[in-house]
């Protein structure tokens, strides 16, 4: 029996889906196991005595929602600022003329190749010099600088917009700021949705920067999840970690479900010339 091309594609997609969802499924299974089943040999692939109480313990062992509030504050501030800063920068690269614009844009994109860990020490020293450690100002400043990838997405989208729109606005007496706010930005909702999802999820899931820059009381949920669940002997309670992590991914999933149509459209349209 010869498989059709569509059948092969579906099989590949299902295989990739299973590969992606397998860790999440194992996380969910672990969240319902009790402590004895975590150490069982051979491994229990399915909990014999499901323990939904693990979720209650995970949420009440320490101030889970307080740390979630810290994460939500940082992620929201960064996502909003980075989105609009990147939109304005992308508009400049797409529609304004300036000497060396292409070179600057190329240098900006090249910074995406730098791993975060490379810049953490100088970043820490800089923020320490200005007494910004244990505050949320670093995320405000990072947001105001935009994200190179988001700038790229906005630049691609604005480049594809008809020049006649801009020319008509100029004839009507609009300046560049008004053209951006009244014409280009409202048309870029798909890219805005994409930008909000990417920047929020990146900040929500970041562990390294909050661990370095924030003290225990002001740190994020990602940092606390990695260090907050221990038994009396100092061992990690992996079932509580799994339960807490499952709840931890809910805000990102909700944001994606709300903005998914814009996200898909934004990725598609920004990939054009």
The Cα 93–Cα 110 span in angstroms is 15
User: What is the per-residue pLDDT for 229?
Assistant: 80
User: What is the per-residue pLDDT for 230?
Assistant: 76
Percent pLDDT > 90 in the chain is 39
User: What is the per-residue pLDDT for 273?
Assistant: 44
Between 42 and 180, the higher pLDDT residue = 180
Give 181-191 pLDDT, tens digit per residue. 888 888 888 89
Task: Kindly report the number of other CB atoms within 10 A of residue 236's CB atom.
Answer: 14
Nearest-Å Rg of the Cα atoms of the chain is 23
Give 94-119 pLDDT, tens digit per residue. 888 888 888 999 998 898 888 888 88
Q: How far, in Å, are 21, 68, 125 from residue 244 at the CA level?
A: 18, 11, 33
DSSP structure class, residue 216: G
- For residue 265, pLDDT beyond 70: no
Contacts for 158 with CB less than 8 Å, ≥ 6 apart? 90, 91, 94, 95, 184, 188
First-to-last C-alpha distance (Å) of the chain: 41
The Cα 18–Cα 12 span in angstroms is 10
Q: Using CB atoms within 10 A of its CB, is residue 233 exposed (0-12), middle (13-18) or buried (19+)?
A: exposed
Task: Kindly report the number of other CB atoms within 10 A of residue 122's CB atom.
Answer: 9
**Domains plus CATH for the chain?**
62-270 (1.10.3720.10)
- The per-residue pLDDT of the chain, averaged, comes to 86
Torsion, CA 92, CA 95, CA 100, CA 104, rounded to 10: 40
Across the range 13-17, mean pLDDT stands at 92
Task: Kindly report the number of other CB atoms within 10 A of residue 165's CB atom.
Answer: 13
Q: Of 220, 214, 165, which is closest to residue 187 (Cα–Cα)? A: 165
Across the range 9-20, mean pLDDT stands at 91
- Phi/psi for 26 (5° steps) reads -65, -35
Give 119-134 pLDDT, tens digit per residue. 888 999 999 999 999 9
Q: Tell me the range of 82-86, 157-161, 242-246 where mean pLDDT is highest.
A: 82-86
Largest CA distance in the chain: 76
Give 25-36 pLDDT, tens digit per residue. 888 888 888 877
The Cα 241–Cα 235 span in angstroms is 12
pTM of the full structure: 0.85
Beta partners for residue 236, in sequence order: 230
The Cα 228–Cα 184 span in angstroms is 46
Could you check whether the bond before residue 207 is cis, i.e. omega within 30 degrees of 0? no
Beta partners for residue 230, in sequence order: 236
The Cα 171–Cα 165 span in angstroms is 10
- Residue 8, sorted as left (phi over 0), alpha (psi -120 to 50) or beta, turns out to be alpha
Across the range 79-108, mean pLDDT stands at 91
- For residue 271, pLDDT beyond 50: no
- The answer to whether the Cα torsion of 17, 35, 208, 118 is positive or negative is negative
């Amino acid at each position: 029996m010869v498989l059709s091309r569509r059948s092969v594609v579906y099989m590949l997609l299902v295989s990739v889906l299973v590969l992606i969802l397998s860790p999440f499924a194992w996380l969910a299974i672990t969240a319902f196991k009790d402590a004895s089943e975590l150490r069982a040999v051979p491994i229990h692939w399915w909990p014999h005595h499901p323990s939904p109480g693990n979720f209650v313990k995970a949420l009440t062992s320490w101030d889970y929602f307080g740390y979630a509030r810290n994460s939500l504050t940082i992620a929201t501030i960064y996502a909003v600022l980075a989105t609009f800063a990147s939109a304005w920068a992308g508009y400049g690269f797409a529609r304004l003329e300036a000497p060396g614009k292409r070179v600057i844009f190329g240098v900006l994109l090249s910074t995406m190749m730098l791993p975060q860990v490379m810049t953490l020490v100088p970043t820490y020293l800089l923020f320490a010099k200005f007494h910004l450690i244990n505050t949320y100002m670093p995320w405000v400043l990072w947001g105001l600088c935009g994200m190179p990838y988001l700038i790229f997405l906005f630049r691609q989208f604005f480049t594809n917009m008809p020049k006649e729109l801009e020319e008509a606005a100029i004839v009507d007496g609009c300046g560049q700021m008004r053209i951006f706010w009244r014409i280009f930005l409202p048309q870029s909702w798909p890219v805005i949705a994409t930008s909000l999802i990417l920047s929020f999820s990146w900040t929500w899931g970041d562990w390294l920067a909050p661990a370095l820059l924030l003290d225990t009381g002001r740190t994020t949920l990602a940092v606390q999840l990695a260090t907050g669940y221990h038994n009396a002997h100092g061992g990690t309670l992996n079932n509580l970690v799994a339960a807490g992590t499952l709840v931890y991914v809910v805000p990102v999933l909700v944001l994606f479900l709300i903005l998914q149509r814009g996200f898909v459209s934004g990725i598609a349209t920004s990939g054009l010339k």
